[in-house]
Amino acid sequence: MKGQEWYQQETVVESYEDKRFSRGGGRLTDRLEKAAVFESLAPVEDKKILEIACGTGRFSVMLAERGADMVGLDISAPMLGEGRDKARRTGVDDHMEFMRGDAARLPFPDDHFDSVFAIRFFHLVDEPEAYLREMARVSKGQVVFETYNRFSGRSLYNWALPMGSRLYSRSEVDSMIEAADLRLTGETHEFVVPFGLYRKLPGSVARAFRTVEETIDRTSLGDRLASISYWNATVE
């Protein structure tokens, strides 16, 4: 599994948000991802939600701020430490719990949460079916996950990344969903310009790219070229 050791390193963790989400195009992608996650899960108020591989709690804290009863699970103690600090600063630590654990063996009974989701996680895993099955087991309703797409701009530079990423075809996603006894209820395809490239751009250039991208997104070509997809599924 990629990334387990990588995200234990203090230097990687300290710069995780700063490098990816705090400036220019990175800040824009952070906002767009948060909007996509919120739309997939809304309404979230009083819902019991689990985030797998929550990292520094970018999404968990945002959902707790909107009234969700959140649990964020991650294997990296330093990433969770950043998340706890953020929850305290934001004032949501009373309905936000961060837990250290392995997504392969979730420490919860069956049907424990209303919704379970994972963002920027499935590109790291070798056996996606097993992880998705485990997410489905602890959800009594909704499962949302994101994949990086095989036939997209991402595949042009994936080989150059330090860890590379597992990229998914549509048929792989369909068979994962079937193997986990889930039913697909919605899908959103985003980022013709992959977000790894976005974050290298100054804000004004990124916003101009985004305007062009939104026009392409409204076409079926946009769906086919998108570098990431959000899959919204329900437990059968």
Residues found near ligand SAM in the complex (CB under 6 A): 1, 3-4, 7, 53-55, 58, 74-76, 79, 102-104, 119-121, 124
In order of 11, 40, 123, 228, the CA distances from 223 in angstroms are 36, 17, 19, 9
* Least distance in angstroms from the C-beta of 218 to ligand SAM: 26
Closest residue by Cα to residue 166 from 116, 199, 131: 131
Closer of 57 and 173 to ligand SAM (Cβ): 57
CB 26 within 8 A of CB 47: no
**Nearer Cβ to ligand SAM, position 66 or 216?**
66
Angle (CA) 181-186-189 rounded to 5° is: 120
CB nearer ligand SAM, residue 97 or residue 216: 97
* Shortest-Cβ-distance residue relative to ligand SAM: 55
* Cα torsion angle, 197, 126, 35, 55, sign: negative
CB of 19 to ligand SAM, least distance (A): 12
Q: How far is the CB of 103 from ligand SAM (least distance, A)?
A: 4
* Shortest Å distance, C-beta 71 to ligand SAM: 13
